[in-house]
A and B are shown apart, each in its own frame.
Chain A
Amino acid sequence: MMVPTLKRIAPQLSTLVALIILITFIFPSFLNLSMVDGRLVGPLVDVAKRSAPVALLAIGMTLVIATKGIDLSVGAIIAICGASAAWAVSAGYGLGPALVIALSAGIACGLWNGVLVSMVGIQPFVATLILMTAGRGIAQLITEGRILTFTDPSFGWIGSGTLFGLPVPVWLWLATGVLMALLLRRTALGMLIEAVGINRRASALSGVNARVLLIAVYAASGFCAALAGLVVTADIRGADANNAGLWLELDAILAVVIGGNSLLGGRFSIAASVIGALIIQTINAGILLGGFPPEYNLVIKAALVVVILVLQSPNLVTHFAFLRGALPTRRPSEQVQQTGKPKP
């Protein structure tokens, strides 16, 4: 199991390492690590911590994209879940109930998306657009339009606390990633999801319950978004319905494609997507360190998207295996629909 996984994530891993080396070359302090008050501090730890929201989202998004779908609503779900957690905490329900409320809200949002996609049959992009539009309104409804701040230290700990020397958000994405990967690869879920993403019809004819799987995948994405929402909210100790998670859906999609997962569905690797999230954050850190204004970020991301699109394009018979890992290239012939084919 280990060797194929390593081979699969090798391009992403080497990109990340190359980036780190490049930045270290210019700013040797980048690799500085030190223990302060029992916690590890340094730019690398910071990168890992700041990656948390996108890494968490990317885990769920990977699954959705594996089924040939897309979830545009995760940014809005972050806002909803952050708002409900902040509301629950400031209303004095305590941390436990607040977490339960926020996570159930995320799963409920995911289920809503899943039902629209799987049962009603709306394309994923359109279905999740609805929640993307209305979601921030719902979040504002919860916060009543204010930035809902709270002082509960235990909730704040999720965003800025330390556990065994590492920031809690790092543990969160690590644990979620590992657990999700185990859940998918130690059971048959992963393979069934891939089968549905590659050929839903053939899978259904083989008895795969594609409907339920699709709903589950969107629910998982909602759950991951809820976790990301908790991190974002806890970090700033306040729920900002307008700006929490803004554009993060795009970063998450970017992380997934940097992870070499095809937008056309099929084979996926959660580890690669998470490394994709780390790559995005490392670039951010490099730009900051370089004294460039952070606005360069967006331009670089745009360039990244274009490069990856070129690599994934079914129109170009690509010879570079870079970033595509061991994924087979979809042959363009599969996209050309036969015309005039007799089908009852």
Chain B
Amino acid sequence: MLLTVKGLSKSFLGARALDAVDFDLAAGEVHALLGENGAGKSTLIKCLTGAYHRDAGEIALDDQPIDPRSTSQAQDLGIGTVYQEVNLLPNLTVAQNLTFGREPTRFGLVDARARTRMAREMIEGYGLDIDVNRDLSSYSVAIQQIVAIARAVSLSGKVLILDEPTASLDAREVEMLFKVVRDLRSRGLGIIFISHFLDQVFAISDRITVLRNGRKIITEKTAELDRVKLIEHMLGHALEHEVEAQMAAHADEQPVRPLAFSFRGIGRQGMIEPFDLDIHEGEVVGLAGLLGSGRTESAELLYGVRVALTGEARDANGPINIRNPRAAIAAGFGFAPEDRKTDGIVADLTIRENIVLALQASKGWMRPIPRAEQNRLADDYIRRLDIRTTGREKMIGELSGGNQQKVILARWLAMNPRFLILDEPTRGIDVGAHAEILRLIRELNAQGMSLLVISSELEELVAASDRIIVVRDRRHVAELTGADMTADTIVRAIAAPGTAKEATA
């Protein structure tokens, strides 16, 4: 084996990000690493490239134990990495990027001609016909990625880690990149390939390892794995016992509810294809799909985070113009985003302030919520949502993820919205808080609030939703209701074997 990882563990502030993970990579192999957000993929990669230092476990390269302490050390050892973005400097020329740090010099000055020659040699065999003396940014992302690969290979030459290299490429560019990857494989490199596009994984990889919650789930030859099985492993769901229970749960059809909001042809190029969506009063609509499928993008368009370029939204009173989040809030929307840290919490404000933030913003600065009222609201939600804190004046940044999420929920509940969008409400939350948030969703729903819930936790989604929409490849592809609504059918809709050819053709 070229690279062997044994029992690798890594914790952050007591939270296990990697738990005794084994992994190996042969020379001349493409090994795909799969998992949803927070599964531990990036932590594993960072331990390999020296960005993090592991807590326990062994890494061996060519049967020699290694202990990289920095990316450049890992590079010298032979492990190179190419990320989705920020690999190279767009403001330097291709040649400058390729030769960065080892420019040929003459009399102490960089020899531009030798540098051009050196750069040309480096990209030889990658099928690129480009002028290396132009700025990197003047080329497409695909070419930039290949240049980054060329640099990584020439610097390292043993192991190449490709971290979501195709996320912003179109089908033709992906094929171009894959040709390069296949060439490198035949030259004997070991390649670790990370992607959330399953079609690509099946098209390029020899073996697949799935991580979930910091643990290795399986390592399997790609040829011996089918899509449904793979998605089951990724989402941690076994099909067998589910079906009957769900059938029973949804057997009694709900009465027809009045329409609350209807969206027609909402879309934006590069984010998601135009889609229609009806939200009824007191209804929970689930949005299922893998990471990067367009589920978060759907929510962002509905809420006006990005303006939809097509389509219109209506409520019972007629059209509503959702040009920004404030307009959405005015229409009775609320949104708990996926990335709590950057989009949700205001870390250095207290729990109380975080809870009243949206309410205060909608009232306007002239009408401050009296302190007593703020305290009452905060205490009320701390009690009702069981937010574990020493008091309402604690900074939200000091709370655990689950409690932060509850504060964000409280922020919206205080607004009493008609339509609440929850993007991965249970991500990164301990099991206890999980159940509480699910209970809360039901409660809200019972009070007549409509919800749109995005989640990779299929059982949760099935249990919580009245209806589930499946998103794949930036399109809404299926709508499941009643007895059809099982984790099983969702997995099949996501896997949808028919599209495999379409995406890589």
Contacts and interface: CB of A to CB of B under 8 A. Distances in A.
Q: In the complex, are there CB atoms of A and B closer than 8 Å?
A: yes
Nearest to B271: A344
B271 to A, nearest CB: 6
Contacts of A208: 357, 361
A198 B296 CA distance: 24
B84 interface: yes
Nearest to B42: A340
Contacts of B367: 187-188
Contact of A340 (B164, B342, B345, B366): B164
Contact of A188 (B167, B297, B348, B368): B368
Interface of A: 186-189, 191-192, 194-195, 198-199, 201-209, 266-267, 328, 330-331, 334, 339-342, 344
Interface in B354-382: 357-358, 360-369
Contacts of B337: 205
Contact of B325 (A205, A266, A331, A342): A205
B473 interface: no
Contacts of B325: 204-207
Given A187-B365, A203-B346, A339 B86 contact: yes
B42 A203 contact: no
Interface residues of B, number: 47
B189 to A, nearest CB: 20
26 contacts: A188-B363, A188-B364, A188-B366, A188-B367, A188-B369, A192-B360, A192-B365, A194-B348, A195-B353, A198-B349, A199-B342, A199-B347, A202-B342, A202-B343, A202-B345, A205-B344, A206-B358, A207-B326, A209-B326, A328-B395, A331-B397, A339-B83, A340-B85, A340-B164, A342-B84, A344-B296
A206 B202 CA distance: 41
A342 B357 contact: no
Contacts of B291: 342
A176 B365 CA distance: 20
B419 interface: no
Interface of B: 42, 83-86, 163-164, 167, 196, 270-271, 291-292, 296-297, 303, 305, 324-326, 329, 335, 337, 342-349, 353, 357-358, 360-369, 395, 397, 411
A342 B292 contact: yes
A185 to B, nearest CB: 9
The 4 closest A-B pairs by CB, nearest first: A340-B83, A207-B361, A206-B358, A207-B329
Given A187-B368, A203-B346, 20 more contacts: A188-B360, A188-B363, A192-B365, A198-B349, A199-B345, A199-B347, A203-B357, A206-B329, A206-B411, A207-B325, A207-B326, A209-B326, A209-B361, A267-B348, A328-B395, A340-B84, A340-B85, A340-B86, A342-B84, A342-B196
A104 B368 CA distance: 28
B165 to A, nearest CB: 10
If over half of A's interface residues share one DSSP class (helix, strand or loop), that class is named, otherwise mixed; here it is loop
Contacts of B363: 188
B361 A342 contact: no
B362 A188 contact: no
A342 B397 contact: no
A101 B411 CA distance: 44
Nearest to B300: A344
B346 A195 contact: yes
A331 B325 CA distance: 29
A334 B329 CA distance: 28
B85 A207 contact: no
B86 A188 contact: no
A199 B343 CA distance: 8
B297 A344 contact: yes
A192 B42 contact: no
A157 to B, nearest CB: 34
Contacts of A344: 270-271, 296-297
A202 B83 contact: no
A192 B85 CA distance: 34
B344 A202 contact: yes
Contacts of B42: 340
A339 B345 CA distance: 21
Nearest to A209: B326
A198 B343 CA distance: 11
